[in-house]
Amino acid sequence: MTTDWDDLIEQVARDLRDPGHVVWSAEELAGYVERALSAYTRHAPRYQSTVLASVAGAYSYDLDDIDGLLEVTAVWYPWDPSQPQVDPPPVCPHAMLEDGVVTITPEAPPRGTAQDQLRVLYTAEHTVAGRNEATETTLDAWGRALVALGACAWAALARQVGEIGAVTPTGRTPAELAAYGEICRRGFAYGLEQARRLTMHRQDVRVTREATV
């Protein structure tokens, strides 16, 4: 049974006109897909939120249960899920003094009640089903295509260096590989910038709508 991760690698192989993996092994392409996925995540991470119960007198909270956590962008405290959200939300100063732990500095010590919780807004890595035991793919169709394009760029540019003076099994000369790789690289760079802008816009709209609920 193939996974989304397998399908993504095979998509890259087809785009490179190497479906039989004569030039690039599946393992090689997986490395390039990893690299492209990482770049995509840096430009367009997932914006998520979670609610944590406060603990009386506690200022530091463990976030190890959040898979793929990249950065805490804001902490809303005190947060009462049973009440309509206020505008502006109660943003509380916070810091990540150690990995996986957020520390808040509210005006008064946390009380540890149901009306005194923390809403943590954060960014997280994208996942692809079948990669690192992930069961969910968080990339949409456009995101998958963009990651495949980035993987093609790095695969072609890396291969052309080792094929100087020879014709590749795909029939492409090193110069053709270089030209193809550069076209893919430029398309990937442009796509990353568009993804970054769209993600930021969606996040701004989401926060604005939530703040008016």
Express each pLDDT in 131-159 by its tens digit.
Answer: 998 999 999 999 999 999 999 999 999 98
28: left (phi over 0), alpha (psi -120 to 50) or beta: alpha
Express each pLDDT in 72-124 by its tens digit.
Answer: 999 999 999 888 877 888 999 999 888 889 999 999 999 999 999 999 999 99
Which of 83, 105, 124 is at the close of a domain?
124
Based on the fold, state whether residues 40 and 134 are members of the same structural domain: yes
Which of 124, 153, 182 is at the close of a domain?
124
User: What is the rounded average pLDDT for all residues in the chain?
Assistant: 89
Based on the fold, state whether residues 171 and 79 are members of the same structural domain: no
Express each pLDDT in 4-20 by its tens digit.
Answer: 999 999 999 999 999 99
Based on the fold, state whether residues 33 and 132 are members of the same structural domain: yes
Please answer whether residues 28 and 158 qualify as being in contact, where contact means their C-beta atoms are separated by less than 8 angstroms: no
CB atoms within 10 A of CB 212: 10
Number of domains comprising the chain: 2
Express each pLDDT in 64-83 by its tens digit.
Answer: 999 899 999 999 999 998 88
Based on the fold, state whether residues 96 and 70 are members of the same structural domain: yes
What is the domain extent for residue 194?
A: 4-44+127-211
In this prediction the pTM is 0.84
